[in-house]
Amino acid sequence: MQKPTISTTSKPIRSLEDALERCQDLGMRVSRQRRFILELLWQAQEHLSAREIYDRLNQQGKGIGHTSVYQNLEALSSQSIIECIERCDGRLYGNISDSHSHVTCLDTNQILDVHVELPEDLINQIEAQTGVKITDYNINFFGYRNSES
């Protein structure tokens, strides 16, 4: 299959640098606070609530106000620079915006990102069953961490 030429605007975000670059491409100002939030999400590699993001940044001595955290998360997620998951108990934010799957740990309610590639014959099977050409997918896995240390 031939790969289409990727324009800068549709370039997937796969690193902190990509995320910062996307901000610049969109003409968004990369303030210190905005950079702190992006750095934290890329370091953490998990999905955090606005409250957790606020707490962690302040623990790291990166003083940032509640309002600033909320406004930055809103701006970044509305531009798809970060991921936003709506859960019944509130919103969670994560670092990757290109398509991926989630593993939920039922002990802690933590949601981890994974990249899953399904075998081609399974995709073909689903296409044959439904008549729909599959172009994208994400899967939700649920489970428990194994308790051995």
If the CB atoms of residues 34 and 102 are measured against Zn ion, the closer one turns out to be 102
CB 100 → Zn ion: shortest distance, Å? Answer: 6
- Return the residue of 58, 104, 113, 123 that touches Zn ion, per CB under 5 A: 113
**Contact letters for Zn ion, residues 91-110 (x by CB under 5 A):** ---x----------------
**Shorter beta-carbon distance to Zn ion: residue 34 or 94:** 94
Nearest CB to Zn ion, comparing residues 41 and 94: 94
To the nearest 10 degrees (0 to 180), the angle between helices 66-78 and 32-44 is 70
Task: Tell whether the torsion through CA atoms of 108, 50, 27 and 79 is positive or negative.
Answer: positive
114 by Cβ neighbours in 10 Å (0-12 / 13-18 / 19+) ranks as exposed
Question: How far, in Å, CA of 69 to CA of 49, rounded?
Answer: 10
Q: Which of residues 42-101 bind Zn ion (CB under 5 A)?
A: 83, 94
CB of 127 to Zn ion, least distance (A): 25
Total interface residues for Zn ion by CB under 5 A: 3
- Whether the Cβ atoms of residue 39 and residue 57 lie closer than 8 Å to each other: no
**Which residues contribute to the site for Zn ion (CB under 5 A)?**
83, 94, 113
